[in-house]
Amino acid sequence: MTSYFDPGALIGVLTTQPLDRPLDYRAPEGGCHLGAFVEVPLGPRKVLGVVWGPGRGDFDLSKVRSVIRVLDAAPMRDEMRAFLEKAGAYTLTPMPAMLRLATRAPGLGDPPSMRRVYRLGQGTPDRMTDARTRVLEAAAEMGGLSLTLNELAEAAGVTSSVVKGLVKSGAILEEESPRDTPFPLLDPDHGGKALTDDQSAAAESLRAGQRAGGYETVLLKGVTGSGKTEVYLEAVAEALRQHRQALVLLPEIALSAEFLTRVEARFGARPAEWHSGVTLTERRRVWKMVAEGQAQVVVGARSALFLPFRDLGLIVVDEEHDTSYKQEEGVLYNARDMAVLRASILGAQVVLASATPSLESWANADAGKYKRLTLNARFGAAVLPEMRSLDMRAEKLPANRWISTALQHAIKARMAKGEQALLFINRRGYAPVTLCRACGQQIGCDHCDARMVEHRFLKRLVCHQCGESKPVPTTCPHCQAEDTLAAVGPGVERLAEEAAEHFPEARIAVLSSDLYGTARELKAQILSIAEGGADVIIGTQLVAKGHNFPKLTLVGVIDADLGLQGGDLRAAERTFQLMRQVAGRAGRAEAPGAALLQTYQPEHPVIRAILAGDEEAFWAAEAQERRAAGMPPYGRLAGIILSGEDMGRVFDLGNHLARNDGALRRVGAQVFGPAAAPIARVRGRHRVRLLVKAPKGVALQAALTEWTGQVSLKGDLRMAVDIDPQSFF
């Protein structure tokens, strides 16, 4: 296909507006390239678009308007357009929504903007004050580097007027400089560690793949602390040597502070960051610099996958099994799968790193589609934690107590040695249920079918589904009895209370995402814990991530059965992963660790597999069951979620679809439902779901498109299709 259009040529422009196809325009004066970012008129407005190909010419030619201007941004590469089209076709997402994912930075069309910066000059101020001295010292410390007014004032601990006062005499220079500055160069040979034999072999294999330069996916498996990060940073180093860019995806921004410091130590400078906590101006800088090849490494959350890399050679998906890679709102995509798709289009390497890979990746490696590298020993003190179950059937705990005697003793023993203990419970808040002792009713959310969870820290009841919150009532909303409401069951906050009673002398820290106003506060808390600022840590699944707590040697899992109870296809897999991960938290440094699992079902196969550390057995058994049931990854699922204000109408629509399932049956797919979604009401809307199950290898998307295309959505009815659903809400 031609890659340049002469002035006046008919071109198709994809915009971010919800239209079902690219629109015809005429190329502007000076012509334009395929993939160019342009501004086009749409009705009375000007909108952003990308030149997607030649125009279709099926619109009245005399009415075709001209592109207003070509934006000052590198044209979208063929590879990226192909990726957006394939990803859109796979997830059944309209192209405008795909383009929005790829243009998530403000002011892309703005000319390069300038900002005012300050640095040390030669002049001498007429008069010196303490504050002025501090400014000159702070500026001198920066060498020749410039700071903004606020940055310099803050560094010196003075008001901005003090800095301004030094400009007239030339002691401080005021200049204009471009806002979007390139990222500092990373040096692949700056700070590599001496690797163990195991690690070297894995690193060499990754480097060889990088040098070969084509597509491959590698599953890098190894227990927490075995050096996976160390190893994949060698692949990043090799990408740098090949002058290609690298992207490291992390599941949660809470990880990045520690991680960025580590990348900086390895390569001598900080990489670019991309996640929801990054300011808008910084986003714009990252987007532009990535496109120009002036950002070599990006560390980011899943949406970084849609950045306009100039020459991406490596995508690392760390903790590849993490469920937060699945975007559950808007465009429903799984970043791990999309990483593999993008890499296969552009000829890049993917490294999926995990201690406990998803069954999908395990099966792909097993089938030889992915290469598998395993790190066996832990680095340094090569001891896995001792894992034991504590049979709670034999415990006679008083009411509202959850920490068994054996666990209490173990914690005290660790504290006596100056070590840390972690109590894990995957429930935020104080108590999962608030119940009236008079009428027995539970307090539910007014907008959803979820229970309200008491948060004593916030002094409110909170719905974990829709976020609705209200003060804890003094009378029961059902029977109006006074002071009869009781908290039932434990959450992290309540467990912290119990721990404080057992260990009055201990410093107790609670790690739960909702207790911190900002990601920065959370990072600060994590850092302080890592430095020994707590004896007992109480945490939700947040702690199952890769934080490194060197003094932590004991993990107590309060309710190991929690994950086994859900009616979810992946419950066993989740429980297994979570426990291995949490157990991996214990004893990362020299002291040997222990993991104690409180359970009422010590003979359950999942609990036994965890304790035996026999992952292959666990996966093989789980794979066997899924294969027999035709479930993923041996079959395919798609969820259809219908919603609307009137429950009857939503069900009618669901029934209509279920009855007219010819398009599905033709490819051997079955439809289940309609049924009320597990959370049947969200924000006042009723939700009904259908589940489609299909054999592997059929054209499921085409069948779904034909099937759902039979109905038109009237009024407030909505339909969302979730390919490969992760959660069953």
In the complex, which residues of this chain contact Zn ion (CB under 5 A)?
Answer: 445, 447-448, 463, 465-466, 468
Residue length of the chain:
729
622 binds, among ligand ADP, Zn ion, none (CB under 5 to 8 A by kind): none
Residue 227 contact partner, candidates Zn ion, ligand ADP, none, CB within 5 to 8 A by sort of partner? ligand ADP
Q: Which does 310 bind (CB under 5 to 8 A by kind): Zn ion, ligand ADP, none?
A: none
The nearest distance, CB 614 to ligand ADP, in angstroms, is: 20
Q: What is the C-alpha separation between 660 and 666, in angstroms, rounded?
A: 12
What is the widest separation between alpha-carbon atoms in the chain?
87
Which residue, 578 or 638, has its beta carbon nearer to ligand ADP?
578
To Zn ion, the closest distance from the beta carbon of 478 in angstroms equals 17
Contact between residue 449 and residue 406 where contact means Cβ atoms under 8 Å apart:
no
Single-letter code of the amino acid located at 607: I
Toward ligand ADP, which CB reaches closer, 358 or 404?
A: 358
Question: Which class for 144: exposed (0-12), middle (13-18), buried (19 or more C-beta within 10 A)?
Answer: exposed
SS3 119: strand
Q: Which is nearer to ligand ADP, 193 or 656 (CB)?
A: 193
From Zn ion, ligand ADP, none, interface partner of 468 (C-beta below 5 to 8 A by class): Zn ion
Helix, strand, coil share (%) of the chain residues, nearest 5: 35, 25, 40
Rounded least distance, CB 261 to ligand ADP, Å: 11
Which partner in Zn ion, ligand ADP, none is near 379 (CB below 5 to 8 A by kind)?
A: ligand ADP
**Closest distance between ligand ADP and the C-beta of residue 677, in Å?**
36
Q: 251 touches which of Zn ion, ligand ADP, none (CB within 5 to 8 A by kind)?
A: none
Q: Residue 646: CB partners within 8 Å, gap ≥ 6?
A: 686
Q: Report in angstroms how near the CB of residue 200 gets to ligand ADP at its nearest.
A: 9
- Answer whether 387's CB lies under 8 Å from 597's CB: yes
In the complex with ligand ADP, which residue's Cβ is closer, 194 or 628? Answer: 194
If one counts every other C-beta atom within 10 angstroms of the C-beta of residue 44, the result is 5
Identify what 729 binds: ligand ADP, Zn ion, none; CB under 5 to 8 Å per kind: none
The tokens for 254 are 């809470």
Tokens of 230: 């160390």
Among ligand ADP, Zn ion, none, residue 448 binds (CB under 5-8 Å by kind): Zn ion
For 108, counting Cβ atoms within 10 Å of its Cβ (0-12 exposed, 13-18 middle, 19+ buried), the class is: middle
Helix axis angle for 335-346 and 78-91, nearest 10°, is: 140
Smallest distance, Å, CB 398 to ligand ADP?
39
- Smallest distance, Å, CB 228 to ligand ADP? 3
51 to 17, 34, 103, 168: CA distances (angstroms):
14, 5, 14, 49
Q: Which does 228 bind (CB under 5 to 8 A by kind): Zn ion, ligand ADP, none?
A: ligand ADP
Q: How far is the CB of 469 from Zn ion (least distance, A)?
A: 9
| Shortest distance (Å) from residue 717 CB to ligand ADP | 46
* Residue type, position 564, single letter: L
Residue 287 and residue 295: Cα distance in Å, rounded?
9
**Nearest CB to Zn ion, comparing residues 302 and 464:** 464
Minimum CB distance to ligand ADP smaller for 193 or for 369: 193
| Peptide bond before residue 633 is cis, with ω within 30 degrees of 0 | yes
- CB of 317 within 8 A of CB of 308? no
- Is residue 169 helix, strand or coil? coil
The nearest distance, CB 664 to ligand ADP, in angstroms, is 43
Neighbouring residues of 572: CB distance < 8 A, sequence distance ≥ 6: 563, 564, 605, 606, 622
**Binds 195: which of Zn ion, ligand ADP, none (CB < 5-8 Å by kind):** ligand ADP
Nearest to 669 by CA among 705, 636, 620: 636
- Could you say which of Zn ion, ligand ADP, none residue 388 binds, taking C-beta under 5 to 8 angstroms by partner kind? none
Query: Is 196 in contact with 227 (CB distance < 8 Å)?
Result: yes
Give me the residues that bind ligand ADP (CB under 6 A), please: 193-196, 199, 222, 224-230, 379, 546, 548
**H or E segment and range at residue 246:** strand 245-249
Q: Of Zn ion, ligand ADP, none, which one does residue 209 interact with (CB within 5 to 8 Å by kind)? A: none
* One-character DSSP codes across 612-640: HT-HHHHHHHHHHHHHHHT-TTSEEEEEE
Q: Choose the one of ligand ADP, Zn ion, none that binds residue 222, judging by a C-beta under 5 to 8 angstroms depending on kind.
A: ligand ADP
Taking CA atoms, 602 is separated from 391, 572, 581, 606, 611, in Å, by 6, 14, 19, 9, 10
- Residue 221 beta carbon to ligand ADP: minimum distance, rounded to whole angstroms: 9
CB of 462 to Zn ion, least distance (A): 9
Instruction: Select the binding partner of residue 224 from ligand ADP, Zn ion, none (C-beta < 5 to 8 A, by kind).
Output: ligand ADP
> Six-digit token pair at 370?
């992915």
Q: What are phi and psi of 357, to 5 degrees?
A: -60, 160
For ligand ADP, the closer of residues 585 and 686 by Cβ is 585
Cβ contact 532:420 at 8 Å: yes
Residue (375 or 462) nearer to Zn ion, CB: 462
Nearer to ligand ADP, 199 or 361 (CB): 199
DSSP one-letter code for 326: B
Q: Closest approach of Cβ 253 to ligand ADP, in Å?
A: 18
Output 228 or 342, the one with its CB closest to ligand ADP.
228
What tokens appear for 548 in the block?
């490194």
Partner from Zn ion, ligand ADP, none binding residue 196, C-beta < 5-8 Å depending on class:
ligand ADP
- Gap between the Cα atoms of 52 and 78, Å rounded: 10
Q: Which is nearer to ligand ADP, 225 or 563 (CB)?
A: 225
Smaller CB distance to ligand ADP: residue 146 or 229? 229
For the bound state, the minimum distance from the C-beta of residue 676 to Zn ion, rounded and expressed in Å, comes to 15
Q: Is the peptide bond before 54 cis (omega within 30 degrees of 0)?
A: no
Closest to ligand ADP by CB, 262 vs 447, is 262
Q: From CA 2, how far away is CA 33, in angstroms rounded?
A: 9
User: Closest distance between ligand ADP and the C-beta of residue 548, in Å?
Assistant: 6
Of 204 and 468, CB closest to Zn ion: 468
Q: In what order do the strands lie in the sheet with 216-222?
A: 272-274, 297-300, 245-249, 312-318, 349-354, 216-222, 371-375
188 binds, among Zn ion, ligand ADP, none (CB under 5 to 8 A by kind): none
The residue (of 465 and 553) whose beta carbon lies closer to Zn ion is 465
In order of 80, 389, 390, 396, 601, the CA distances from 393 in angstroms are 56, 12, 9, 8, 9
CA distance 159 to 506: 42
Least CB distance to ligand ADP at residue 561 (A): 27
Nearer to ligand ADP, 195 or 667 (CB): 195
The C-alpha atoms of residue 65 and residue 419 are separated, in whole angstroms, by 71
